[in-house]
Amino acid sequence: MKLLHACQFLLLCYFICITDCASFRFASYYASHMVLQQKPSQAVIWGYGEVGAAVTVSLFNGSDTISKKSVPINDDAGVWKVLLDPVDHGGPYWLLAQQRYQKDITDLALHDLLFGDVWLCSGQSNMEMTVSQVFNASEELAKAADYPTIRLFTAALEVSLEELDDLAKVDLQWSAPTPENLGNGEFTYFSAVCWLFGRHLSRRLKYPIGLVESVWGGTPVEAWSSKRALQKCGLSQHMECASSRSMYAGPCNYTVLWNAMIHPLLNMTIKGAIWYQGEQNTGMNTDLYNCTFPALIEDWRLSFHEGTNGQTDRYFPFGFVQLSTYQKSQQNDNYPVIRWHQTADYGYAPNPKMNNTFMAVAMDLGDDNSPYGCVHPRDKQTVAYRLYLGARAIAYGEKNVPFQGPFPTKFEIFYKESYINITYDQKLLITHLSDSIFEVLCDSKDETVGGWFPVPVTSACSNVVTVYFKGCSQISGIRYAWEDWPCEYKKCPIYSIQKKLPAPLFVEYFKK
């Protein structure tokens, strides 16, 4: 066919498919205004048509053909799939899909397509909170029009007992950001963390960013995991659980969100993913999270790589938020346990079990005045910024970008003087000397003080913190910030000098 000029193409987009085109269509998440993954990856375009037909997909930039691919439809389900040639970031582009079946020719067209980086944002309600729910919401919403090359997409809340090939429903089809779609009510769309993260990337990279939201509040990691991932952690049986545990609870049955809200996206070429989830697992399979979360990451990576014919990186960058706070009076340690398990029990990311990951610590962002419950702190700006620093370092390979808080590398116990020197991996910013945020484990049966007990910080200099203990002849462990709510807003004792990033919690056991 002849090359189409832009105005002619837009007219085609408007008038095409006047007749019934239901048998020839794009998959649910292909639409005008979308962002496709830039080179060196190849963007995948797929949809449905007549078995036995031939489909040609052409990408245009004005009057120039950028890519043209043809495939037969041999799949019994009528699925067709093409990989566009690699395209550099920019746009807009126009795309024409044409089906030839017997003597019939059917056209589908998309316009205003951009190429850049596509990020998937998933998890539970703290990822689900919209921009209208965060601090300075009106100011944040007013900035929407300043970022026309960020594009948004939201999958609808759906469950399935079987893996779906395509989304059952879309809540927000690909759109440029507006105050309306960024702040559509509470816990709907669009994700504040996802948007603010993408906005930072857009400013830094200066090219289009596509943000895909697939989230559901009150959901455990098991619901977002495939059967293959769960089997790696010994969870091979289908799990059904009550769905009315709280006003924020969502579906918790194994695999149902993987089936309905992740598996359908696997043909989409993406740059990476960010994740904010774990609160629901403080009451469900808590002790398995050090397996289930790394297993989810590994399985998503393999599945997207396979689903895009190798175009999504096999080890694509995966960022996550370490849990914030819930209750100041909480007596059990499920929140710190999940925080620790989020790192596969290393305390930091990336680590040997979680390569190419990055973490935003959020335990210093507690918000006991949040109108959405203190489990939903409103400072999502700091969360997104800390994720962004990690993405710069891990996803984009920038050198010398501080993205981790201080973490201990050496412990020296001096029993005669009753103190421990803790050496960190970087210089420290000490906001105050705490009397309780460090604890030591005394396991001597003859002592009056047993178990974990708080110890004061007596000094801090450069990268060494000294804690003082007495009354215990044998110390078998030390830990930091092992509480649900360890410190007030941005007032934990230890931060990095650069970027003021909080030291994450840790626990260290000493050999006897």
**Token output for 473:** 């002849």
- Among 91, 114, 137, identify where a domain stops: 114
Whether the pLDDT of residue 449 is over 70: the answer is no
> What band does 62 get if pLDDT is binned at 50, 70 and 90?
confident
76: left (phi over 0), alpha (psi -120 to 50) or beta: alpha
Q: Are strands 357-360 and 318-321 parallel, antiparallel or unpaired?
A: parallel
Q: Where are the beta strands (DSSP E) in 124-202?
A: 150-155, 170-175
Going by pLDDT thresholds of 50, 70 and 90, the confidence category of residue 441 is very high
Q: What string of DSSP letters covers 295-330?
A: HHHHHHHHHHHHHTTT-S-TT--EEEEPP----TT-
Residue 209 lies inside a defined structural domain of this protein: yes
- Do both 307 and 423 map to the same domain? no
What is the rounded average pLDDT for all residues in the chain? 92
pLDDT > 70 in the chain, percent: 92
154 and 205 inside one domain: yes
- Kind and range of the H or E element at 195? helix 192-205
- Do both 309 and 346 map to the same domain? yes
Which helix (H) or strand (E) segment holds residue 209: the answer is strand 209-215
Residue 400 within a domain: no
Q: Is residue 327 part of a domain?
A: yes
- Over 60: is that where the pLDDT of 65 sits? yes
The pLDDT value recorded for residue 242 is 58
- The Cα 332–Cα 443 span in angstroms is 20
Last residue of a domain, one of 93, 114, 135: 114
- What H or E segment, with its residue span, contains residue 36? strand 35-37
231 belongs to a structural domain: yes
Residue 491 domain-assigned (yes or no): yes
Q: Tell me 145's DSSP state.
A: G
Q: What is the pLDDT of residues 135-148, one digit of tens each?
A: 999 999 999 999 99
- Which conformational region is residue 33 in: left (phi greater than 0), alpha (psi within -120 to 50 degrees), or beta? left
More confident site: 19 or 364: 364
pLDDT reported for residue 9:
44
> What CATH number is given to the structural domain containing 180?
3.40.50.1110
Average pLDDT on 68-86 reads 96
Asked if 272 contacts 259 with a C-beta cutoff of 8 angstroms, the reply is no
pLDDT at 444: 63
- Average pLDDT of 340-360? 98
Give Rg (Cα) of the chain.
Answer: 25
| Partners of residue 420 on adjacent β-strands | 413, 467
Give yes or no: residues 106 and 241 share one domain.
no
pLDDT of residue 22: 53
Residues 102 and 126 in one domain: no
Sign of the alpha-carbon torsion through 118, 395, 363, 150? negative
**Model-level pTM?**
0.94
Q: How is 404-471 classified by DSSP, letter by letter?
A: S---EEEEEEETTTTEEEEEESS-EEES---SSSEEEEE--TT-SS-EEEEE-EEEEETTEEEEE--S
**Are residues 99 and 159 located together in one domain of the fold?**
no
Shared domain for 457 and 390, answered yes or no, is no
Tracing tokens 């002619």 back to the chain, one arrives at 8
Query: Residues near 206 by Cβ (< 8 Å), separated by ≥ 6?
Result: none
Q: Which residue has the tokens 């003021």?
A: 500
The sign of the dihedral angle between the CA atoms of 427, 430, 433, 439 is negative
Does residue 231 surpass a pLDDT of 90? yes
Residue 338 lies in a domain: yes
Residue ending a domain, among 395, 426, 459, is 395
- The tens digit of pLDDT for each residue in 367-401 reads 999 999 999 999 999 999 999 999 999 999 999 99
What is the domain range of residue 423?
Answer: 408-509
% of the chain beyond a pLDDT of 90: 85
> How do residues 240-280 score in pLDDT, each as one tens digit?
665 444 556 789 999 999 999 999 999 999 999 999 999 99
**Mean pLDDT calculated for residue range 212-240:** 93
Cα gap 45→267, rounded to integer Å: 8
Residue 14 confidence (pLDDT):
42
202 in the same domain as 98:
no
Answer whether residue 81 shows pLDDT above 70.
Answer: yes
Instruction: Note the residue count of the chain.
Output: 512
Q: Is residue 1 part of a domain?
A: no
CA angle, 352 as apex, 347 and 357 as ends, to 5°? Answer: 70
Q: How confident is the model at residue 287 (pLDDT cuts 50, 70, 90)?
A: very high
Count of domains forming the chain: 3
Closest CA to 391 of 119, 58, 77, 60: 119
CA-wise closest residue to 95 among 13, 21, 23: 13
> Are 371 and 420 part of one and the same domain?
no
pLDDT at residue number 63: 83
Mean pLDDT, to the nearest integer, of 101-118?
A: 96
